[in-house]
Amino acid sequence: MFSCCQATSNDTNEERAGGASPSDMVTSEKHTLPMAIPTSTVGWTDNLILATDSYKYSHWKQYPKGTEYVYSYFESRGCDREGWNEVVFFGLQYFIKRYLMGQVITRAKIDEALELCSEHFQGDGLFYQEGFEYILEKHGGKLPIIIKSLPEGMVVPTKTALFTMVNTDPKCFWLTNFLETLLVQVWYPMTVC
């Protein structure tokens, strides 16, 4: 159950969000309405559908009608410091193997995401359940995307495209940038490489 950011009132013992009981909360008696501090968070469930920014859930509705393919790229934007004009491309293989290979969309993961998103967004309409069900049914839960990249370990000038991604199924045009939140994490290993 989603149990992040609950707030309870000692006067009515009413739950404001989530499912935590008052014993799960830390409160302060200095305020008329106690300030609740969550003592638990949503646990990581290895659900790719939940590994994105909240605002990305609505993007599928915002693409122009007739969109079939979205081609995106990842680059190092550079740095203002003199002499910092190169980057070592490193880390993409880990993210592909860990999060994107094989069947990553399942019925259980769709159901989990639907429940969490319905609570998070206070209703239905933003979570693209039909899109993820299409991937499950048509592609067996495998992601219809192609990623092309430079060889890992290569030193390249900043502002060079390091990898590109495009959807291979025109009905999954929304998927390319939905995955951006996860793939932008490739930046972290590059900063220490």
Query: What confidence score (pLDDT) does residue 45 get?
Result: 63
Query: Is pTM beyond 0.75 here?
Result: no
Query: What confidence score (pLDDT) does residue 38 get?
Result: 54
DSSP secondary structure string for all residues of the chain: ---SS--B-TTT--B-SSS--GGGEE--TTSSSPPPEES--PPP---GGGSS-GGGGGGGGTSPTT----EEEEE----SSTT--EEE---HHHHIIIIISS----HHHHHHHHHHHHHHTTSSSSS-HHHHHHHHHHHTT---EEEEEPPTT-EEETT-EEEEEEESSGGGTTHHHHTHHHHGGGHHHHHH-
| Residues 101-142 pLDDT 10s | 999 999 999 998 888 777 777 766 678 889 999 999 999 999
Query: What confidence score (pLDDT) does residue 19 get?
Result: 42
Query: What confidence score (pLDDT) does residue 135 get?
Result: 96
Query: What confidence score (pLDDT) does residue 7 get?
Result: 31
Query: What confidence score (pLDDT) does residue 2 get?
Result: 25
Q: Which of the residues in the chain have pLDDT under 70? A: 1-45, 53, 123-125, 193
Query: What confidence score (pLDDT) does residue 149 get?
Result: 95
Number of other CB atoms surrounding residue 116 within 10 Å:
19
Q: Which of 40, 29, 49 is nearest to 2 (CA)?
A: 40
50 token code pair: 């939940």
